[in-house]
Amino acid sequence: MTLLYRRYEKRLREMFPQAQLHRVEHHLTHAASAYYTSGFEKAIVITGDAWGDFVSTMVCLGEGKKMRAVHRSYYPNSLGHYYQSLTNWLGFRGGRHEGKILGLAAFGDPASPVYDEIKGLLVCEGLDVHAPYMMGKIWHKKMPFAKSSMMSKLVAKYKREDIAAAFQRRFEEVVTTLVKNAMERFKVDSFCLAGGIFANVKLNQRVFEVPGVKRVYIFPNMGDGGVCAGGALYYDINQNGSRGSALPHAYLGPDYTEKQMEKALRDKGVPFEYHKEIEVKVAELLTQNKVVARFNGAMEYGPRALGNRSMIARGRSRRSTAWLNDRLDRTEFMPFAPVTLMEEAPRCYKNLSGAEYPARFMTITFDCTDFMRTKSPAAVHVDNTARPQLIDEQSNASYYRILKEYYKLTGIPSIVNTSFNMHEEPIVCSPEDAIRAFQLGHLDYLALGPFLIKGQNQN
């Protein structure tokens, strides 16, 4: 491994000869990404992934500018690998489709006999996470994940929904036990979370629901996409004395001017209309059950589309979103996520207080109210949860305006949102990407900045 690191270092020095190079441990970068953007003065930080620098789970304590590691669990005792292996066994791609397994789990019975068979695979003792049967990419001894093992028997015998539900339940139990044990030991009630396992929005809800936990925050780019920011923050704050601060929004990516958008449209010969108040027009189209691809402002940082590179639709019936899934060739078990006006959120979600901040970034689920269930059923999962984005005027004025106008017209403060991309392609970035994806997807409308483009299927 050292040899590999030397090779990386050599390459980096060639690429950036003027730059200083500092090493920061992988899980410390995850921890720093969450703690130094949380705005919390004191917090327990938990990171978890498949592995990084041989570590798979880390517990840190942060107070003021100082953050230090207090415990490490080492690979192969890995929460991330546990979930990845499950994802592969259920016929999906580990490391990529874990979100589908989470969606699937809600359709299963977490108390089915599968649970008793698998609960020994993952254990928490004190601050230590154990996966006693795991070794490298397979599982040793009883080999539950290898061929002719417990896992192949489970897959043959039980519904995959029940298997997913049992694994998700054990996953939640082990992480929440870790949270309880850390809280008991350090007497701190705020938690910051990062690392790929915290892309699991239901897990994050369970962490927040642990009795005694007052606040929770998940770094919006919780996977390895966030370690560059975390490494830079760690060094800057610890060595240069800078201060961290809460993230006001996640619109940190490339932005394009109106001129660039107009040029892209003209170059492609695409007819368009200019709307000074495009937000009003988009809200109107949503009430007519149209799906609108929206491209506006700076692109989102992290894995979630938060309105600027999104496809949006009304959430009044599951039919429109089923149609969209079909059109996009997606096999999602999770419904599309809602975006909700911040000031109306307590009417839609239960137990929000203390988790409004992560909910800006769509990183945590909540139980839904009857109002949400009846008014926006397309955004509510079969287990009655949703993973909303709460929007206020300061973080994204134009997107907020669409919601506000839609609310005026319908009395419903939520719409549904999914990432603007074609099947298995990355999310669109530039106006050219947006036009291409819009045309390939045969979508209803594209709102590109102030320009409205009608799909070929519209009169």
Which stretches of the chain bind Fe ion, using CB under 5 A? 49, 52, 224
* 166-169 contacts, C-beta under 8 A, 24 or more apart: 166/108, 166/110, 166/112, 166/114, 166/115, 166/117, 166/118, 167/82, 167/83, 167/86, 167/101, 167/105, 167/118, 168/101, 168/102, 168/105, 168/110, 168/200, 168/202, 169/110, 169/115
d(CA 261, CA 263): 5
Report the candidate in 239, 249, 193 with the shortest Cα–Cα distance to residue 219.
193
CB of 95 to Fe ion, least distance (A): 11
CB of 66 to Fe ion, least distance (A): 22
Report the candidate in 390, 392, 454 with the shortest Cα–Cα distance to residue 417.
390
Cβ nearer to Fe ion, comparing 59 with 412 = 59
The residue of the chain with the least Cβ separation from Fe ion equals 49
Report the candidate in 408, 418, 213 with the shortest Cα–Cα distance to residue 305.
418
CB of 50 to Fe ion, least distance (A): 7
Cβ nearer to Fe ion, comparing 28 with 355 = 28
Cβ nearer to Fe ion, comparing 52 with 94 = 52
Cβ nearer to Fe ion, comparing 194 with 339 = 194
Cβ nearer to Fe ion, comparing 55 with 437 = 55
CB of 270 to Fe ion, least distance (A): 41
CB of 196 to Fe ion, least distance (A): 6
Other beta carbons less than 10 A from residue 269's beta carbon: 6
CB of 421 to Fe ion, least distance (A): 23
d(CA 178, CA 172): 10
d(CA 207, CA 176): 6
Spatial neighbors of 459 by CB under 8 A, at least 6 apart, are: none
Cβ nearer to Fe ion, comparing 52 with 307 = 52
Helix (H, G, I), strand (E, B) or coil at 298: coil
Which amino acid makes up residue 310? Answer: S
CB of 137 to Fe ion, least distance (A): 17
Cβ nearer to Fe ion, comparing 224 with 332 = 224
Cβ nearer to Fe ion, comparing 340 with 363 = 363
CB of 450 to Fe ion, least distance (A): 40
Contact 40, 30 (CB under 8 A): no
Cβ nearer to Fe ion, comparing 31 with 285 = 31
Q: What is the dihedral of CA 412, 376, 211, 126, to 10 degrees?
A: -130
CB of 194 to Fe ion, least distance (A): 8
Q: Which helix (H) or strand (E) holds 124?
A: strand 123-125
CA 411 from centroid of its chain's CA atoms: 28
Report the candidate in 205, 422, 435 with the shortest Cα–Cα distance to residue 324.
422
